[in-house]
Amino acid sequence: MNSPPSTVETRLLATAEQLAGGNNSLPPAPWVHPHLEQGVVPVKGRQLRASHAIRKGELLLVDVPYAVIPVVDDPASSDSLLCSSPACSRPTQRSSGRIACPKHCIADVVWCSPACQEFDEVRHRFECTWLQRYATPVRAKWGEYDFGMLWLIVRILASRQGELHHAVGHVDQTNPRFQGGWDAIQAFCGSTESWSHAQIRSWTALVKKYLRSGPALLHDLTADEIVALICREEANSFGLYPRETGVFPVPEPAVDRGDQYGAAVYPRAAIANHSCCPNIMHKPDHQGRMVFTASRDIAAGEECCISYFDLTKRVDLKSRRDHLQGLFRFVCGCDRCTAEEPSDAESDWVGLPFVE
């Protein structure tokens, strides 16, 4: 009689079908496949790589967000508004009696239960005064995108503050080579040299007006350090969508990934680089944890890549490259793009882990 599989073997056999079965089918997060490793290569920098062969459908990574915000058009009518407690982050229903901030900072802040509200009390206190003071004027003057970016930075700072206060270690015990916590955020790619001078000037103005340390936002970082943090956040944050990103080949009929309902920063998932023919599908679970699954067999030594955008939306070479170069500042030279080039074209790939 065969002995039962070990814990690691059980995790290796986790499949995309099992992920649909609910929370119990996932290993404790954060979790990294034993055959997934980090590497560093010239030009591209960090990458995820398979140390041994990985089968299609295997679970590769489950990462918890360091910070997450909801992204909805109308919080009052949305059934996708996320619970503000970082230990929950579940979509809340209008009919479920969700709880608003007692100080009425913004309608986007809700909790799904009194327990979540109590758990989140200290963290939310960090952001509440800032939201009361700045949410409305930032949205009116700068728009939703810049407000969301600033709010995500504030929530990153809140997580950093909690980490420093509690002196909590964030090393993934499954694979200690994968950092977590503030140390991982500091290690993200992206710097002031990654962006145009005009963009850096714009972010600097926002930081000096809205993110300086003061009564509404207490922290110990300089304005230059906050600008550098924005550069890393903008290069590494994930949009949260209800369906998988990176299904390739694109099925017929094509099904897009749906409407964005959140944005988050993940310490480990951010290591993944882009390919227009990715071997990883990614999707947040119902608690906002980012889940990577192998979408095809992956050979030992092969880089493990995600797609930074919805592959159903940009099909031809020019639209993909224009999007990546315009938004993420690199020209894609993945196998698919290279194969689709005119024979006399030259490729210059500078692929950084910037995720839409």
How confident is the model at residue 20, as a pLDDT? 41
How confident is the model at residue 355, as a pLDDT? 53
pTM value is 0.88
How confident is the model at residue 66, as a pLDDT? 97
Residues of the chain with pLDDT under 50: 1-23, 169-172, 345, 347, 349-351
Query: Topology of 26-64+238-339 in CATH?
Result: Beta-clip-like (2.170.270)
How confident is the model at residue 352, as a pLDDT? 52
Q: 196 is written with which tokens?
A: 């145009």
How confident is the model at residue 12, as a pLDDT? 47
Say how far apart CA 69 and CA 144 lie, in whole Å: 12
Positions of CATH 2.170.270.10 in the chain: 26-64+238-339
